[in-house]
Structure 1
């Protein structure tokens, strides 16, 4: 089966993005397909999981049933990651179902510990970066999160969720989350000179390392960074970095070249890119056709977008 044909047999959340970013379909055709996201398939199912109080699975960041004595427990069923997934699906922010869902979050959802409103953000940059992405996408005011983010930068240009505990070197995980969030906020609001400078410096933090290498030795920082994943949650990998840079730096920085060729080499004989790293933890539902070790529609869509950018297609 042709790669595009296989992608177009997927969920509306996949199809509309293939049409918009890969095949160059007419805008009205893209819009019609995108309108299906909130009405059927994964998008509708995700919206169905929200309770009347605005929460998914009883919590803002962690589900209501999670033992809070286990602070590193990963569960992807609560509100924060559900909203991140809704953005990934590309649900139309103007859709009535989506507007109702976001209104519930705005009115009711508070962070599990602090009690602050969801769109006012938290303290950790990896969390706040996603809040910025979500808020900007759905038209919510997240200016206070930007202020927190800019105040929390480290001297090397990036962010680290452990900085409040003494970390002085940036984390690629935290930095990519914040980069995505600041870029989304700037697209929605125009940004500020300070935010653009901070984002540029953080991009340089990645690019100086060729997206995956130790600057001191050239070695791979973490083998997991070289594995394709989806959903990305708060984790860094090379494909996530490239997918960000294709939007933020369309001029194609040559320091991405090695990472791009590494990604290109991962394409299988069937024309698909595999899902290599599933971030373990409970989920609300399985997405059809997404199994570790097999060709992935999500990974393939994102890889094709990167290669079209890089190859100038």
Structure 2
């Protein structure tokens, strides 16, 4: 089977992105396929899993957050990462079912421990970066989240969720979440001079490390950063960094060349990429065919559009 045919033999959430990013389909064809995400397959299933009170699995970040008998990775099934997954699927924000789901969150959902409205954000930059991405995607006000993010940027240009406990060196995990949020916010609203400056400083933090190496020694920061994963949640990896740069720097980025070649080398003889690292924890449902160690449609789609961007420059 041709790689494009293999990717198209899947869920609407993947198909419409293949049509847009790899097959150069006509915009009206892409729009028709995208419209199916909210009514068929994984997107429809995820919308169905939302309760009438707006929550997924009874919580925002960690259902049963005060119950030590439940593992922290129940976070994957709660509201925060369920919304992130809906955006990853590319569900149409204007779809009536999606607008209802977002309204339920806006009107009812409060952070587990602070009681503030969900779209007002939290304190940790890795969380706020995802919230800002979702504000931009679903058309919710995000100015207060932007201000919290700007106030938590570290002197090296990045962010760290442990900064409130004394951390002074940034984390790639937190930084990539914030960069995605700031870029999405700029695309949606134009951003501000301060938000653009913060984003560019964060990009320099990433690029100074060639996306996965220590600036001081050149060593790989963490072997897991070189492994492909999906869904990404709050975790960083090279493919996620390259996906960000593809959107942030459409003109190309020479300093990403080593990371691009690392990704290229992972392509199998069949033209596909494997899912190398699954972030363990309960999920609301399985996405068919996505298993660690096996070819992955999600990873292959994302890798192919990265290489298309890189090879064009």
TM-score range, shorter chain: over 0.9
Q: Secondary structure at the match of 1:23?
A: coil
2:145 aligned residue: 145
Please name the residue that 1:258 is paired with: 258
Q: Which residues in structure 2 correspond to 1:74-85 (within 5 Å)?
A: 74-75=73-74, 76-85=76-85
Q: Which residue of 1 aligns with 2:26?
A: 26
Matched, 1:45 2:77: no
Matches within 5 A, 1:61-72: 61-63=61-63, 65-69=64-68
Name the structure 2 match of 1:73: 72
- Contact kept, 8 Å, 2:275 with 2:293, in 1: the verdict is yes
Describe the shift of the 1:158–1:72 C-alpha distance in structure 2 as closer, same or farther (beyond 3 A). farther
Distance 1:74 1:233 in 2: 11
CA distance in 1 between partners of 2:67 and 2:275 (Å):
30
Distance 2:48 2:281 in 1: 21
After the TM superposition, list the runs of 4 or more consecutive aligned residues in structure 1 that deviate by more than 3 angstroms.
65-72
Alpha-carbon separation, structure 1, partners of 2:140 and 2:65: 28
Q: Measure the CA separation in 2 of the matches of 1:263 and 1:231.
A: 17
Task: Report what 1:227 is aligned to.
Answer: 227
Q: Deviations over 1:34-61 (max 9, x none)?
A: 0000000000000000000000000011
Q: How does 1:1-313 map to 2 (within 5 A)?
A: 1-63=1-63, 65-69=64-68, 73-75=72-74, 76-312=76-312
SS at match of 2:72: coil
Give the TM-score normalised by structure 1.
0.98
Contact preservation (8 Å) 2:125, 2:149: yes
Matches of 2:219 and 2:230, distance apart in 1: 24
CA contact 2:52–2:104 (8 Å) conserved in 1:
yes
Q: Deviation of residue 69 (structure 1)? A: 3.8
User: Following the alignment from structure 2 to structure 1, what is the Cα–Cα distance between the partners of residues 159 and 208?
Assistant: 15
RMSD of aligned alpha carbons: 1.2
Summarize deviations over 1:165-187 as a string: whole Å, max 9, x none. Answer: 00000000000000000000111
Classify the secondary structure of the residue corresponding to 1:274. Answer: coil
Q: Secondary structure at the match of 2:299?
A: helix
Gaps of 5+ in 2: none
**Separation of aligned partners in 2, 1:45 and 1:230:** 18
- Return the alpha-carbon distance in structure 1 between the equivalents of residues 69 and 45 of structure 2: 29
Q: Deviations over 1:1-48 (max 9, x none)?
A: 110000000100000000001110000000000000000000000000
Shift of 1:267: 0.5
Q: Deviations over 1:256-297 (max 9, x none)?
A: 000000000000111110000000011100000100000000
Query: In structure 2, do the counterparts of structure 1 residues 212 and 51 end up closer, same or farther at CA, with 3 Å as the change threshold?
Result: same
Alpha carbons of 1:40 and 1:276: their partners in 2 closer, same or farther (altered >3 Å)? same
Instruction: State whether residues 150 and 198 of structure 2, in contact with CA within 8 Å, keep that contact through their aligned partners in structure 1.
Output: yes
Counterpart-to-counterpart distance in 2, 1:81 and 1:251? 31
Displacement of 1:70 after TM fit?
A: 7.4
* Corresponding pairs, count: 312
**Distance in 1 between residues matched to 2:256 and 2:69, nearest whole Å:** 38
Gaps of 5+ in 1: none
